[in-house]
Structure 1
Amino acid sequence: MSDYDSIVIGGGHNGLICATMLARIGHRVLLLEANDKLGGLAADREFAPGFHAPVAQTLYGLQAAVIKDLRLEDYGFVAGDPPLNLVALSTEEPPITIGDTALSGAQANDTLAFEQYRSQLKTFAGALAPFWGKTMPRIGMGSLKDLMTFGHMGLKLRLLGREDMLEFFRVATLPMRDLVDEYFESDSLKAALCWDGMVGTKMAPRSPNQAVLTLLNRMAGTHEGQHVVPTGGMAEFIAVLERSARSAGVEIRTDAAVKKITIDGDDNGQRCSGVRLADGSEISAERVISSADPKTTFLRLVGAANLEIEFTNRIRRLRCDGYVAKVNLALTDLPVFTGIDRPDGRMVLAPNMDTIEFAYDNAKYGELPEQPVLEVLIPSLHQTGLAPKGQHVLNANVMYVPGQLKGGWTDDARSTLMATIMEALEQYAPGITALVSASELLTPLDLEAQYHVSGGHWHHAEPAVDQLLMMRPTYEAAQYRTPIHGLFLCGAGSHPGGDVNGNAGRNAAREILA
């Protein structure tokens, strides 16, 4: 008899969600986390004495079904403050505040256009919403279940009406630049609106790929794509998931790195029989579910020797180059941003889309951005305990910073990037440098090393058209099942992708239980 029914590798939110759902129906579940804390990129980290900032600071795609299925409110989950406004900052234009349905500080034409823009995207997001929570049909299969999924999708799109349906097919694969150019005049507004479709990816405004579809995925959550800081912050959100998991009967071990997934073979083919830990101990299970990224799962934990060469080649070719660096600043006081009464929103420092495009061009060639583009948040305005009283934490996503930097990530390269970032911040918050008592820079290479994510990519694999839906991460592994009997996926590299929305973990559990 196996030690467990199910072993889940990885204690991020998807791993916790999958493990909890399996345990609730009676599975003996063991969850293994390599680090000393649960949560993955949402785990709390103290980057300077008394100053805390996880890599993932906000919720913006959490599914209502996850909250309900795991009874998260019973374990203390509270959505928290109202959604954060998005603020477009530019040295050329006044700040523009972007809410859920309205703008503040924009020209009249843009204000009117935003209502139409947001309404249209909400309509499209609502039509697609059910399918982020479903297993995508297998390519070439014609089962009744698959046909019903396709039929349901077709019906939802047809119910949009002819005009909206045709517009959806036109818009869904547009570059973000083309979409926002159709609606708006303000350069900084267009740059900020692009941001929410591209952040965490290897795409720029002109990229002819899936940024609009990614945006619609994010808008399918409980806050329709708006970002919130949950009560107690992301650390408390992870604690809620842990309480729910333990209550369901999940056994959790941290500091328990998996070295290998155990594969046995006989005349009936290969099957997964458990795991071997870094300390040499072996644990058996009826199935193993990995929330690690696909490259880590198949190439490092399973090993190419246990896979067909065609499948291995497809996994090797997955694009998972992280392009986002994280900067955390410990501040002795609250900085003053020009033109803003209180810096309590998500501030995008990108004067126009060309600035974003040029930073992307630098990154493509392994170079540091000459003019970095940033999304800045001061989470200590929304959550106590992140900094000593009267002091603050500034957290920034710096887009288009290559993990594979030309010449490598030397101390000089890090210093150069930090100096460039501080110079950019000074343009919008004069005097901020004098408030910095400590700082932290996490490059994609650092994220890869510290969080065991190939390439340091937030989403485990680029959300591009050939790596989405029934192709995520690739065929033969796109329905959470893998070519090896008893081995499943439940991480962000599976449908529907990354972000802290929980769909991949929930979908995987439902597929296992089907």
Structure 2
Amino acid sequence: MTKYDAIVIGAGHNGLITSSYLAKAGKKVLVVDGRTHAGGCASTKVIANGFHISDCAQWVHQLDGAIVKDLSLEMHGLRLGKSKRTLALQANGDHLTIDGDSLSGAGINASDKKAYKEFKSQMRAFAKLMLKLYRTRAPKLVESDRGDKMTLLSLGLGLKMMGRKNRQDMMRLVLINIYDVMNEHFDHDGLKAAVALDAITGTNMGPRSPNTVFTYIHRMVGEALGNRGVAQVMGGMGSLGGALLSSAKTHGVEVRLGEAVTRIIKTDDRVTGVELSSGDVLEATAVVSSADPTTTYRDLLGYRNIEAGQARRVEQYRTRSGTGKLHLALSGLPSFTGVSPEDHSQRLIIAPSMDAMETGLNPIKYKELTSQHVFDISIPSIEDPTLAPAGQHVLTALVHYVPYELKTGWEGVREQLLESLLVQLEVYAPGIRTLIVASEILVPEDFEVSHGVTGGNWHHGELSIDQALMMRPFPGSTQYTGSVEGLYLCGAGSHPGGSLMGLAGKNAAEEILKQGVLS
């Protein structure tokens, strides 16, 4: 029987990144995934004949350029589009344009323009400090590890260099909600809502929820990594997955797609391998899971193989998402009122006000549909015509405040939700309904089934301060090390968290190599 140095569960972006770095270090690595295509949430599918959509992740805005370079992803076919401006659509057709640190339109006043530059400068300073933590394992505060001490020393120096005001503001702001911070800084309701949207994307939270300043800083780490706004992957998100797969194979990684891991095998007091859906049993010195922590511990390892206290932590780990997706195949380019033809290729958002966002959130707390959604819209076929037949287009939208679970269940309700979303869209894009060739609405439950993410959460767990940094995903399973010897985590459920960043995968590989367990 072949024994591997490491078996990586899941061919998502973090799993492939971990496997590539381990293989580059000379280790014998196997990646196994039940899906037939690599990439995880970086995936593309056909919605209708000739129409291709990114069916989970929509934008790239946090991908670490160092990983792109280390793994030669551009040589393997990765191409990113141009950085997008954000157009915050207003009902009167006079829209707010956000271009880097600059604002225009929608009657934005000089005071808000100045305040926005100052706000972004401060948030960027916070994000640069956060990046120090994100590029390494999160340090534990109660142990005397030398590496952790050096990380804490670097963090302390960064805080000192930040200046007194920024240091005080970071301590004050990081645990509070984005609603209060927006009202403290700005007058314009559209601007407040546009910033708040970036704080709640992919979460189950509203602007008034605690931790939303932290989630905004998490998103701003993308700018600290050198990304200016969001961008699309040319060819669809699946091209990122394809580039990562090609790179991994070039580095000697063995990949088995279409075969799911059904069980992580524990022998005596350590993990020794996995069992596949085919019945094959494979041995490894280390099993590295890029699946979310709940799937890893509850479904694959099993609670009987971990301590009762750890099982309780897994059960209490918050994973529910409040984000769905709308996919439309269109016979022509839709016309958003007040948006120039060239600006239809930019990021279009619909978030009228923070109070409207809170109103949209409230029903999903009680497992009910809301009639007020928040949209983050892309028409990627404008910049990349290969995604649709000539003269036709695809539209994808992240839709916020879609419940994971309904009291009535989702059977027969998706059509009702789709109709509600189209009614809301037509306020800004009259006649879009007449262009629809095919449509699809995905709710969090669908992502759980299609992409294997518990709760439909692409962050692999709520990104809040008690489930972040040295607490991610939960005590007893931090710093990429599982609660059983021989088991490691490398997915978005480990530090530093979700989005197509890749640092969780890179950091996990570095930690495994540092520990010397594969020697």
Tell me the TM-score range normalised by the shorter chain.
over 0.9
State the TM-score, normalizing by the size of structure 2: 0.95
Following the alignment from structure 2 to structure 1, what is the Cα–Cα distance between the partners of residues 359 and 228? 26
Quick one: which of 121, 124, 146 aligns to 1:122? 124
Following the alignment from structure 1 to structure 2, what is the Cα–Cα distance between the partners of residues 225 and 296? 34
State the 1:138 CA deviation. 2.7
Deviates more, 1:51-60 or 1:422-431: 51-60
State the 1:225 CA deviation. 6.1
Following the alignment from structure 2 to structure 1, what is the Cα–Cα distance between the partners of residues 290 and 252? 19
Quick one: which of 238, 255, 268 aligns to 1:235? 238
Following the alignment from structure 1 to structure 2, what is the Cα–Cα distance between the partners of residues 371 and 198? 15
Aligned AA for 2:399? Answer: V
Following the alignment from structure 1 to structure 2, what is the Cα–Cα distance between the partners of residues 419 and 73? 40
Deviates more, 1:141-150 or 1:392-401: 141-150
Note if 1:245 corresponds to 2:248: yes
Counting aligned pairs with the same residue, the percent is: 41
Aligned AA for 2:308? Answer: I
Deviates more, 1:17-26 or 1:45-54: 45-54
Cα displacement string for residues 161-211 of structure 1 (whole angstroms, at most 9, x for unaligned residues): 1122112212222211112212221112211111111100111100012x2
> Contact (CA 8 Å) 2:63, 2:500: kept in 1 or not?
yes
Deviates more, 1:97-106 or 1:137-146: 137-146
> Contact (CA 8 Å) 2:138, 2:469: kept in 1 or not?
yes
Aligned residues: 507
SS at match of 1:75: coil
Aligned AA for 2:307? Answer: E
SS at match of 1:441: strand
Structure 1 residues 479 and 392: alpha-carbon distance in aligned structure 2, compared to 1, 3 A threshold: same
Gaps of at least 5 residues in structure 2 are 515-519
Aligned AA for 1:274? Answer: G
State the 1:217 CA deviation. 2.3
Matches within 5 A, 1:170-319: 170-209=172-211, 211-221=212-222, 222-224=225-227, 226-265=229-268, 270-319=269-318
Note if 1:439 corresponds to 2:439: yes
> Contact (CA 8 Å) 1:218, 1:224: kept in 2 or not?
no
Aligned AA for 2:327? Answer: N
State the 1:72 CA deviation. 2.3
State the 1:63 CA deviation. 1.2
Deviates more, 1:46-55 or 1:295-304: 46-55
Cα displacement string for residues 40-71 of structure 1 (whole angstroms, at most 9, x for unaligned residues): 11111112222111211221101122123223
- Aligned partner of 2:151 in structure 1 is 149
Following the alignment from structure 2 to structure 1, what is the Cα–Cα distance between the partners of residues 236 and 445? 26
State the TM-score, normalizing by the size of structure 1: 0.96
SS at match of 1:385: helix
- Aligned partner of 1:169 in structure 2 is 171
- Aligned partner of 1:104 in structure 2 is 104
> Contact (CA 8 Å) 1:232, 1:384: kept in 2 or not?
no
> Contact (CA 8 Å) 2:53, 2:236: kept in 1 or not?
no
SS at match of 2:334: coil
State the 1:87 CA deviation. 1.2
Matches within 5 A, 1:417-436: 417-436=417-436
SS at match of 1:57: coil
- Aligned partner of 1:77 in structure 2 is 78
Gaps of at least 5 residues in structure 1 are none
Following the alignment from structure 1 to structure 2, what is the Cα–Cα distance between the partners of residues 111 and 249? 51
- Aligned partner of 1:397 in structure 2 is 398
Aligned AA for 2:19? Answer: A
Cα displacement string for residues 453-493 of structure 1 (whole angstroms, at most 9, x for unaligned residues): 11111101000111011111101111100121111000000
> Contact (CA 8 Å) 2:328, 2:439: kept in 1 or not?
yes
Following the alignment from structure 1 to structure 2, what is the Cα–Cα distance between the partners of residues 231 and 418? 27
Following the alignment from structure 1 to structure 2, what is the Cα–Cα distance between the partners of residues 388 and 202? 36
> Contact (CA 8 Å) 1:2, 1:286: kept in 2 or not?
no
SS at match of 2:339: coil
Consecutive aligned runs of 4 or more in structure 1 exceeding 4 Å deviation: none
> Contact (CA 8 Å) 1:480, 1:488: kept in 2 or not?
yes
Following the alignment from structure 1 to structure 2, what is the Cα–Cα distance between the partners of residues 69 and 172? 32
Aligned AA for 1:61? Answer: Q
Following the alignment from structure 1 to structure 2, what is the Cα–Cα distance between the partners of residues 205 and 225? 24
